[in-house]
Structure 1
Amino acid sequence: MLILIPAYLVALLIPAFSLWLVYKLDFYKTGEFRIIMVSFFAGIIAFWLASQANRTTISQGWLERLDVIRYSAPIVEEILKGLILWYLVSRPRFTYFVEGAVYGFAAGIGFAIFENFQYIESAQSAGLTLALSRVVSTNLIHAAATSALGIFLGQARFERGWLRRIGVGLAGLLIAMLLHVGFNNLVTRVDSGLLLLYAAVCGLAGAGLIAFTIKRGLKTGKIWLEESLGMADRVTSGEAAVVTRMESVDDILEPLAERFGKKKTNEIKDFLTKQARLGFMRKSVERLSDERMKRGTEEEIVKLREQVDIARRKVGSYAMLFLRHTFPEDSSPLWGRLESLIQEKAAARPASGGVNLWATLKTRQEEQKNQPKQEHEE
């Protein structure tokens, strides 16, 4: 038993580390930590249920063991891993597909870790080698497949009509199944010394694609926050400017950390994270077509605004004053981008061709200056 301890540690810690990386990648923390843990444990339950289903299928002679591994197991496992996501996406607090991706990754990792334990127990002396091979291949496929489902379900939430929502969700489930079936067929059909390399490439590519999608989603989220955060929620432009730069929040808050300490800085981060969620939920209301879901989200916004106010008071007026002046009040990234765009258009347009706003204003100013002189001469 002691000889298996390193294998169990590898099987646990490396997948858990990959989940932590995804959690850190989501710098707006759209994926709430407690819900990530719920998803993780839901993945463990899904493993137990799938294990029972697969064993029953084999013991009853419905399918050969190899056919179960190649076909039925991936289908059953993706259905069971994804059950928690269908529920989470329907919650009023859900924001957008990045959140679904994080929860899906967590469910997949929970499933994969306990599947690792099962295989290690069977492998005995070869457990460590098996664990090392699985954490860079099979585990990432489990996580990537369920994360892909989370992405599709997150998108489906904003589709018009329940048929389209279900259709997009089922499309995501089908993609997750095909990814899993394809991988299992690869690793059971290839008889080569390069098998581990092929498996690792598939696993890393799947995880990389999910990370890329999350990063793209965060860029979109940044634009949404610039559009949705404002004085309607008592968010100053200075605060909004910090929220939209959450990817570098540690650097931004470094002067405040030196002045107020780590505890106060963490309170500020919590405050900013709540503001970010508020902005995402504002955008969700705009995008939702289902009136019932809209009402539920609006009710959550009211609750979240209260939480933001509590967090603001916890930070304190003195620290808030410093936070608001981290960026000047007129430094909103959205307005800055619009101003730059206007200036570029004005510079590119010749003064003599078409309507040039800046040239017209300048001409009118000169006319107004010359008018008193003409009246005086008369």
Structure 2
Amino acid sequence: MIQVLEFSFALLPIVIFLIGMWMLDSFQLIKTREVIITILFGFLIAGIAVLFHGTILNNTGIDRAALSRYIAPVSEEFLKFLPVIFLIVTRRVGFMVDAAIFGLAVGAGFAIIENLYYLRALEEATLITWFVRGFGTAIMHGCTTAIAAIISKDLFDTKDWPAMLSFVPGFLLAVVLHALFNMFLLPPTTSALLITISLPPVLYLVFKKSEAHTRSWLGTGLDSDMELLQILLAGNISQTRIGGYIQSIRDKFPPAVVGDIICYLRVYLELSIKAKGILIMKDSGVELPPDPDVEAQFEELEYLESQIGKIGLLAIQPLLKIDNTDLWQLSLMR
């Protein structure tokens, strides 16, 4: 019975927290398989951290207390952050809420393996120890990575910094929070309760803010895309501001390329509208069947990109205002 309680205290809180936050996402854009794979990466990273810290303890004069306070916050947050950086840079994360879930999943995987390691290593530990590790350390691991992921996703999408600089503020904050927890400035049980009471509500508020931002982006983006597509299909493009802009670049490109630019705009807008429609239906709890025409449209889009070239794509950027979320929504279609 005692062992069952130890396992429950050590492992269940972070798992329940991750599932709860995942279920709160009304768009449900992250598939179960993706969450599981991310958790498995957390397992791997925890194993690397254990080996790295063991090497330090065995080959240097650093004791476990100093390691926990000064080295582990940096090394563990860095390792947990690597999958998040990869997912954001490769545009596999659409919104801040998705970044938070991926961060939580990495942290949960890390915490599960770490606590399993300590369950074996600390055979004489009391239930209070496992309460602290389960409700304090494990939740901390998930929340620090999730907070870093949220901040990084926001900066990556909104700032014109070099891409990797977008990850520095979130990483540093995660390290500071982790280090403060490991300093034991408060009694361990108090720290665990404080973590459990404070960090989950903060993430919940971010979830709600992200969902509100997503709905706003869907509404304004859909209206804008439909207006632009209607102008293109109406045939009187020369009488509009869009036609004026295309006319301004006409002298810079051969006539065939200008025609390809107009076709590219049409196909891109059709895919963008379909993607936003899928998101709106998901928010309403409706799953749409795959569109059989999508793959052909992507092939046409890729062909037109090759014909237009990089300079042509840059020339139409002011019309589409393509950002990271727009690029991600097209990947959603596939």
Amino acid at match of 1:170: V
Work out the CA distance in 1 between the residues paired with 2:197 and 2:189.
12
Partner of 2:286: 269
Q: Is the 8 A contact 2:9 2:135 kept in 1?
A: no
Q: In the aligned structure 2, how far is the partner of 1:122 from the partner of 1:110?
A: 19
Distance 2:220 2:36 in 1: 31
Distance 1:135 1:236, change over 3 A: same
| 1:233–1:32 Cα change, 3 Å | farther
One-letter amino acid of the counterpart of residue 185, structure 1: M
Question: What is residue 189 of structure 2 aligned with on the other side?
Answer: 196
CA contact (8 A) 2:110 2:141 kept: yes
Unpaired segments ≥5 residues, structure 2: 227-268, 292-319
1:236-288 residue CA offsets vs partner (Å, 9 max, x unmatched):
99x96992793xx4xxxxxxxxxxxxxxxxxx6332999xxxxxxxxxx8462
Is 2:171 the partner of 1:173? yes
1:243 matched to which residue of 2? 280
Distance in 1 (CA, whole Å) between partners of 2:86 and 2:273 is 34
Q: 2:153 is matched by which residue type in structure 1? A: G
The match for 2:212 among 206, 214, 219 is 219
Partners of 1:304 and 1:54 lie apart in 2 by 39
Flag the 1:218–1:272 CA change in 2: closer, same or farther, 3 A.
farther
Contact (CA 8 Å) 1:138, 1:203: kept in 2 or not?
no
- Could you say what secondary structure the match of 1:137 adopts? helix
In structure 2, distance between residues paired with 1:212 and 1:154: 16
Runs of 5+ in structure 1 lacking a partner? 250-267, 275-284, 308-378
Distance 1:159 1:243, change over 3 A: closer
Partner residue of 2:76? 77
The yes-or-no answer on 1:108 pairing with 2:145 is: no
Partners of 1:241 and 1:51 lie apart in 2 by 43
SS at match of 1:166: helix
Name the CA distance, whole Å, in 2 between partners of 1:63 and 1:236: 58
Corresponding residue for 1:118? 117
Deviation, 1:195, is 3.5
Q: CA RMSD in A?
A: 3.3
Aligned residue pair count: 261
2:28/2:282 contact within 8 Å kept = no
SS at match of 1:92: coil
Show the counterpart of 2:255: none
Normalized against structure 2, the TM-score is what? 0.68
Other-structure match for 2:33? 34
Matches of 2:76 and 2:271 in 1, distance apart?
Answer: 45
Matched residues in 2 for 1:82 and 1:45: separation?
Answer: 13
CA shift, 1:25, in A, is 1.4
CA distance in 2, matches of 1:33, 1:178: 31
